[in-house]
Each structure stands twice: as structure tokens, then as C-alpha cells.
Amino acid sequence: MALCQSWNAFVVNFNNDAKAYREHITAARQRFETFSRRHMIDRLHSEAVPVGIRATEFDISHGTSTRSELSRRFCMQDSELSGMLLKLSRGRDQVARHAKRELHEPQLESSDRPSYRSNRGNSRQVTRRQVPTAVAQAAPRLNGKQLCLRYISAKGCPSKVSDRCTYEFLGHFTPDTLAPIVQEYVVEKYGGLSSEMSSHV
């Protein structure tokens, strides 16, 4: 609001033609990316005065007056001005987010970085298969769901519901038999079979 008032005061003091205004705003917009908000506003004020003097001389020599048109343009409804301010605030927010992320996330070595793939423009992390393919293929299935290997382990599944796994494609059930490769994997990875499963196998 204060910026609009200062621009309106400037327009009242100087008759500025639209062409000079557009040239000034275009030049300021080009320099926008490299200056901070305060520096940019100071720079606009310092450059606007000479432009206003030149525009006033132009109006006097050509007998034109654009004061009423310009007083409407120096407000938040002006698309060029509001666009510049929006760009400025977005740039400042992006720098702040980047600095905060740098502060809280340790730098990863290139070999430690997770792999990403593009999915219709959205980036999402590619998850690696936790269970080896041979073990997954040998695992028992019931009603189209693979047995949750944590469920039959000594550690148990972290699901809060005993008959349902946290992963939809896995199921909680006690199979009659268990392939040796699956049993070895559960013992190695999860510290052994549950007491209920040990009595079945």
C-alpha cells in the first residue's frame, strides 16, 4: 500500500507519458532477478525521477498530458507492477526454502542419492524391492495376496490391525508350508520365525 501511495505521489508531481513508463518498467523487470527487494525499490525510485523529468519535458514540448492515465496505473491493480512484486516475493520465498533445506538436509554423496524418475511431469522416488525376487515368488499366497513375511517373523508386522498388513498387496495368514528360501530369508532378515509359525513348519 505504501508503495502505491509513493508511486501515486510521484505521478502527481511529474507528467509521465505511457511509452517512457513502459520502457522504465521493462528495464526494471530485466534487472529484477539480480536485486533484492529493498535494493530494487531504491533503484526504481532513483531511476524514476530522471524518467519523470524527461517525460515532463516531452509533454510540455508536444502539448500532451497523461497524468490521469498514469495515476491509475501506479497501484496494485496494475498488472506490470503487481507481477513484479509477485515475482519478487516468490524469489525471496524460494531462496528462503532452499536455504532452510540446505541447513536441515546433509549433502548426499552421488552414490547415496536416491534415484528419481518422471511420471507425467511429477517426480517421485523409485522404491526398490525390499524382498528378493526369488523369495517373493516362493512366498505363499492367499486370495491374490502375498504373505507378509514380517507377520510370520519373530519381530512381527508393524500393522496396528492384526488381520491386515500396512501394504495392500500383502496378507496376514498362517500358511501350512513354507519354502526353505522363504524361511531362511525370514530368519536372516527378521530374526527368526514367530512361535506360531515355528510350530507349523
What tens digit of pLDDT does each residue of 131-153 get?
888 998 999 999 889 999 999 99
The answer to whether the beta carbons of residues 4 and 70 sit under 8 Å apart is no
Question: DSSP secondary-structure letter at 168?
Answer: T
CA-closest candidate to residue 59, choices 119, 17, 114: 17
Top mean-pLDDT range of 13-17, 58-62, 181-185: 181-185
**Mutual orientation of helices 37-62 and 79-104 as an angle, nearest 10°?**
170
Euclidean distance between CA atoms 54 and 68, whole angstroms: 18
Whole-number percent of the chain with pLDDT over 90: 10
When pLDDT is cut at 50, 70 and 90, the band that residue 123 belongs to is very low
pLDDT above 70 (res 175): yes
The answer to whether the beta carbons of residues 14 and 55 sit under 8 Å apart is yes
